[in-house]
Amino acid sequence: MGTATAPAPAPATRKPATMAQALRQAMRDALAEDRDVHVMGEDVGTLGGVFRVTDGLAAEFGPERVTDTPLAEAGILGTAVGMAMYGLRPVVEMQFDAFAYPAMEQLISHVSRMRNRTRGALPMPITIRVPYGGGIGGVEHHSDSSEAYYLHTPGLHVVTPATVADAYGLLRAAIASDDPVVFLEPKRLYWGKADWSADAPETVPPLGRAVVRRAGTSATLITYGPSVPVCLEAAEAARQEGWDLEVVDLRSLMPFDDETVCASVRRTGRAIVVHESAGFCGTGAEIAARVSERCFHHLEAPVLRVAGFDIPYPPPMLERHHLPGVDRVLDAVARLQWEGN
Amino acid sequence: MARSSLASGTGKRARSAERPSSGQGRPAAARPDGTRPGHTPPPDWRPRVDPGPLLPDREPYRLLGTPAVADLDPQLLRELYGQLVRGRRYNRQATALTQQGRLAVYPSTTGQEACEVAAALALRPQDWLFPSYRDTLAVVARGVDPAEALTLLRGDWHSGYDPRATKVAPLSTPLATQLPHAVGLAHAARLRGDDTVALALVGDGGTSEGDFHEALNFAAVWKAPVVFLVQNNGFAISVPLDKQTAAPSLAHKAVGYGMPGRLVDGNDAPAVHQVLCEAVEHARAGGGPTLVEALTYRVDAHTNADDATRYRDDAEVEPWRAHDPVALLERELRERGLIDDAGIRAVEAAAEEMAARLREEMNAEPVLDPMELFDHVYAEKTSQLREQAAQLRAELDAEEE
Ligand SMILES: Cc1ncc(C[n+]2csc(CCOP(=O)(O)OP(=O)(O)O)c2C)c(N)n1
Ligand SMILES: [Mg+2]
């Protein structure tokens, strides 16, 4: 896993770590470096969060820096706005994707536009961590992919890591940002391991840079978050069919890296957007439109989308039919008008 | 988690001294209070706080026309009066500006000037004011330039003043959403060790919003130095209070959160000022939040665009016109010889001057730069915004040719 430019040289102390650990380390380092950073949310203190991402932080930094709040998402984000007005940098945890909805009014009406409505006087350096997505067998209301709601709100950054190293680097960048960042954490990647160094973690380029995870020549898979491993697996499987697929991990959905995406599509001439949230009016629709507008003369086929169905998130026993998997990605690759090539 | 906390409670059931008797058959003899052993109360229960001291007064607190008013500083009374007269004039001028098309809309606080003015005067320089959309007057009384306070309502930029420099949050139109901000800011100040207090304004209708509840709850749990002032002016646009709540009073809601509730005559400027000052200093001293309900009345329609005759009779307004905040304080000042005709004329002249300056400033066409639309969305423009800015720039250039 590299950065946008060159893969960082491996430090000697690398050992297997989970994404949850890397996220925790990011908050820990941010808390240690900047006394204005505050972590707050439901169960983030004593318990360490229901996913244990904040485990140990309250013990290390005390309950005033890592705070168990009352159970009220609008209140959590609304008070974070006031804290940011006073100069603090709140890092808010929403317990689950679907439980962030009560905070939507604060997010849309204040967090996203406070800087703008005050002509820069009141920036909102708030990070809103949201565990999101399915594939963990979660019962109703525990598996939503809500990125499109956030993306349709000017003033927010929307970021989602797919690797352990990015989890650290992107979260540090999000906390350091003077703008509000919705930080979407793919639940089903929390426990995925990779070699990583907590002592010398890789930094990432500024928010808004995509990365080519796998170079290829036949077609580009444009994806992010929990669908990145799916696409990498599909790219491996596609080799047997004679396709050499490039995989672009967006990392940041807003700002959107038109440059990296379009450079890749111009090289390969074909593109598929893959995500697990609903397709209709989804991220893929925007990306397909952008790619078509910018790369039309390089395209050998229409930009396709592989997305979740336009249904409420299904029961766990049916979710594998809903989530875009390797086969569905490969079926889409096959539809990319290869005749005559 | 629920299970483990219940389980941990089982270790300290101090009060269930009697064990259930293992023998079936004969019921054990009743205790003197009629309860029988083996039937235990919930373990460890005790009231968490005594609700008594939190309860609001039975009658709205008043000072004007009572013996207590004699203790008040005459200078304060004169200052309040000057601000009320100025506030009344401001409301009239802003309403006139809507009729001339200089303002898009103005929600007037005619009849509510005592609350607006007292809220501003209860604060020290380091404190923050969190106004709702109706509270332009409180913003002005706090010291913000009268014209800058109106940019939102004239269709100019949403916030015409610098909130950080003035310590006045932007006027908040989504009802009650400013309340959690006040709590968060007050909490942050306390964490930093500053003696800053936040005072947040909300209407009676706004108390039905979830954010009102969440803000009060957070404030009480965190003991945040914040004061909530509810201006109960009888209406949320057309909807009267009895369709809004079944609570004994809005001040009573405080008790459910574990903070004191105060009920005050919202048209008695010294009373509102005193109650707010006490609450503000209580918060500053670490005593936590207070909810104040001020009983007042929205004498004008909801805004200039509203027709109040559709939902209320003039007969309802009359008793409130007789209980007018400006007239009440003027009577007190005159009765006690603290002001004479010349003094009143001087106050009115100062208000006139303010109104004239406001008219003049509002009659000048504001100059807005369309390119600024892209400047404050993010700290740095995204590539998407740079493209869109270039598009608008080209459109503007084409217009000029
Ligand atoms: C969340 C929200 N819902 C609805 C409105 C539309 N609205 C504006 S003012 C108002 C009535 C507010 O009544 P109240 O809280 O009593 O304040 P007042 O107008 O009396 O000052 C309504 C419904 C709004 N601004 N925000
Ligand atoms: Mg009202």
A84-93 tens-digit pLDDT: 999 999 999 9
**What's the whole-number mean pLDDT along residues A11-15?**
75
What's the start-to-end Cα distance of chain A, in Å? 31
The alpha carbon of B317 and the centre of ligand 2 are apart by a number of angstroms equal to 14
Ligand 1 site, residue B127, Cβ cutoff 6 A: no
Q: What is the pLDDT of residues B27-71, one digit of tens each?
A: 778 888 888 988 888 999 988 999 999 999 999 999 999 999 999
pLDDT at A204: 82
Ligand 1 site, residue B174, Cβ cutoff 6 A: yes
CA nearest to B178 within chain A: A78
Tokens of A141: 């209301």
Q: Which residues fall within 8 angstroms of residue B46, CB to CB, at 6 or more apart?
A: none
Query: With left for phi above 0 and alpha for psi between -120 and 50, is residue B145 left, alpha or beta?
Result: beta
- Tell which residue, A60, A103, A80, A58, has the closest CA to residue B187: A80
pLDDT at B47: 87
pLDDT at A158: 98
- Tell which residue, A175, A30, A188, has the closest CA to residue A92: A175
Percentage with pLDDT > 90 across chain A: 94
- Tell which residue, A192, A178, A219, has the closest CA to residue A135: A192
Query: What pairing do the DSSP bridges indicate for beta strands B239-240 and B235-236?
Result: antiparallel
CA nearest to A84 within chain B: B185
Indicate which atom in ligand 1 lies nearest the CA of residue B207: 15
Query: What pairing do the DSSP bridges indicate for beta strands A157-159 and A252-254?
Result: antiparallel
pLDDT at A11: 52
Cis peptide before A255 (omega within 30 of 0): yes
**Residue A163 CB-half CA count within 13 A:** 23
**What's the whole-number mean pLDDT along residues B335-359?**
97
The alpha carbon of B69 and the centre of ligand 2 are apart by a number of angstroms equal to 28
Q: Is the pLDDT of residue B4 over 90?
A: no
**What's the whole-number mean pLDDT along residues A217-238?**
98
Question: What does each C-alpha distance from B221 to A40, A253, B215 come to in angstroms?
Answer: 14, 37, 10
Indicate which atom in ligand 1 lies nearest the CA of residue B176: 1
pLDDT at B31: 87
User: Which of B159, B183, B379 faces A79 most closely, judged by CB atoms?
Assistant: B183
Q: Which of A37, A76, A118 to mutate to test the interface with B (most CBs of B within 10 A)?
A: A118
CA nearest to A104 within chain B: B177
Question: Could you name the CATH architecture of B52-363?
Answer: 3-Layer(aba) Sandwich (3.40)
Residue A25 binned pLDDT confidence (cut-offs 50, 70, 90): very high
Contact indicator for A207, A180 with CB cutoff of 8 Å: no
pLDDT at A10: 53
B184 with A79: Cβ contact below 8 A: yes
The alpha carbon of A206 and the centre of ligand 2 are apart by a number of angstroms equal to 47
**What's the whole-number mean pLDDT along residues A295-307?**
98
Which residues in chain B are contacts of A122 at CB distance < 8 A?
163-164, 170
CATH of domain A211-334: 3.40.50.920
User: Which of A69, A72, A83 faces B188 most closely, judged by CB atoms?
Assistant: A83
User: Which of A80, A105, A114 faces B184 most closely, judged by CB atoms?
Assistant: A80
B211 with A119: Cβ contact below 8 A: no
Is the Cβ of B211 closer than 8 Å to some Cβ of chain A?
Answer: yes
Is the Cβ of A273 closer than 8 Å to some Cβ of chain B?
Answer: no
B177 with A122: Cβ contact below 8 A: no
Ligand 1 site, residue B56, Cβ cutoff 6 A: no
Location of structure tokens 């945040």:
B224
Helix axes B383-400, A258-268, angle to 10 degrees: 100
Tokens of A42: 């439901």
Q: Is the pLDDT of residue B338 over 90?
A: yes
**What's the whole-number mean pLDDT along residues B225-245?**
98
Interfacial B residues in 308-347 facing A (CB < 8 Å): none
Residue B158 binned pLDDT confidence (cut-offs 50, 70, 90): confident
Report domain extents, chain B: 52-363, 370-400
Question: CATH 3.40.50.920 spans which residues of chain A?
Answer: 211-334
Instruction: Check if CATH label 3.30.70.20 holds for domain A16-196.
Output: no
Q: Which one of the listed residues B92, B282, B311, B312 is annotated catalytic?
A: B311
Is the Cβ of B251 closer than 8 Å to some Cβ of chain A?
Answer: no
Tokens of A288: 């397909």
ipTM of the complex: 0.94
Residues of A annotated as catalytic (active site), given as ranges = 142
- Average pLDDT of the residues of chain A: 95
CB burial readout A91-121, b (16+ within 10 A) else e: bbbbbbbbbbbbbbbbbbbbbbbbbbbbeeb
Ligand 1 site, residue B232, Cβ cutoff 6 A: no
User: Which of B162, B185, B215 faces A121 most closely, judged by CB atoms?
Assistant: B162
Question: CATH 3.40.50.970 spans which residues of chain A?
Answer: 16-196
Beta strands in B212-308 (DSSP E): 226-232, 235-236, 239-240, 261-265, 290-295
Interfacial A residues in 117-136 facing B (CB < 8 Å): 117-123
Residue B117 binned pLDDT confidence (cut-offs 50, 70, 90): very high
pLDDT at B13: 41
B311 included as an active-site residue: yes
Tokens of B320: 């409130």
Q: Is the pLDDT of residue B369 over 60?
A: yes
pLDDT at A80: 99
pLDDT at B3: 36
CA nearest to B210 within chain A: A74
Q: Is the pLDDT of residue A188 over 70?
A: yes
The alpha carbon of B62 and the centre of ligand 2 are apart by a number of angstroms equal to 21
**What's the whole-number mean pLDDT along residues B368-394?**
97
Q: Is the pLDDT of residue B5 over 80?
A: no
The alpha carbon of B210 and the centre of ligand 2 are apart by a number of angstroms equal to 16
The alpha carbon of B324 and the centre of ligand 1 are apart by a number of angstroms equal to 23
pLDDT at B14: 40
B154 included as an active-site residue: no
Q: Sign of dihedral through CA atoms A86, A91, A97, A99?
A: negative
Mutate to test the pocket of ligand 1, among B110, B134, B237 (most ligand atoms within 8 A of CB): B237
- Average pLDDT of the residues of chain B: 93
pLDDT at A262: 98
Indicate which atom in ligand 1 lies nearest the CA of residue B132: 21
pLDDT at B16: 43
Q: Is the pLDDT of residue B10 over 50?
A: no
Residue A151 binned pLDDT confidence (cut-offs 50, 70, 90): very high
Q: Which residues fall within 8 angstroms of residue A20, CB to CB, at 6 or more apart?
A: A51, A52, A53, A190, A191
Percentage with pLDDT > 90 across chain B: 86
Q: Is the pLDDT of residue B240 over 60?
A: yes
A83 with B382: Cβ contact below 8 A: no
CA nearest to B197 within chain A: A86
What's the start-to-end Cα distance of chain B, in Å? 69
Indicate which atom in ligand 1 lies nearest the CA of residue B298: 20
CA-to-CA distance for B6 and B4, rounded, in angstroms?
A: 5
Ligand 1 site, residue B181, Cβ cutoff 6 A: no
